[in-house]
Amino acid sequence: MYGQQEQAAPQAYLASVEGRLTADGCATRWENWAGVPVLVGRRADFKMRWMATKLHLFTVAAAVPEITVPAISAFTDQVMKYAKDTKGGLPVGMQNGVGAFPVLVSDRVDPAAVRWAEEQQRIKFACMTRPVVVDSARQYVGMYRGKPALGRVYASYFIEKGSRYFYGQ
């Protein structure tokens, strides 16, 4: 049973992420996704160096009993669809794109899920996600911090925001 005591560390981590998102100018709110409280943070930035595009950045985070590769993979797909559906404005690819940090937090984490999150950025047309797996028992954050060929122009932005939001830097 995943009791209140076991949920304390993941909930504290989510509260700290909410504070960092707000401090960085993100609009935040809590939603109910099939009975699970989910933190949603959102911001949009426009930069000429991004070929004059606007990037809508979503951070969607939840505490779960256990993180496995299927769990973070399915959550990543769900967050990508959510971000595309709620972005508004012009369709993705029309001078704007979507970036997302799907974040799962737990005291029980399969090491394979951490490796999966760290190995690469996930991309679909004009949508980039960098899944984040947080092992609150070990105080370890796993996410991709590289600069891929596809979407390279946004890589420094993702690295900076990921460091700020999830590592407390």
Average pLDDT for 67-73? 98
Amino acid (1-letter code) at residue 129: T
The H or E element spanning position 46 is strand 36-47
pLDDT for 136-154, tens place per residue?
A: 999 999 998 877 666 666 7
Q: Which two tokens stand for residue 125?
A: 């047309």
Distance CA 68, CA 1 (A): 17
The pTM for the full model equals 0.86
CATH code at 4-166: 3.40.1340
Q: Decide: 98 and 123 in contact? Cβ < 8 Å.
A: no
pLDDT at 97 over 70: yes
**Cα 26 from chain centroid (whole Å):** 13
Q: Decide: 143 and 132 in contact? Cβ < 8 Å.
A: yes
Task: Specify the pLDDT at position 3.
Answer: 39
pLDDT for 8-40, tens place per residue?
A: 889 999 999 999 999 999 999 999 999 999 999
Task: Specify the pLDDT at position 46.
Answer: 60
Q: Which DSSP string corresponds to 55-102?
A: EEEEEEEEE-S-B-HHHHHHHHHHHHHHHHHH--SSPTTSSEEEEEEE
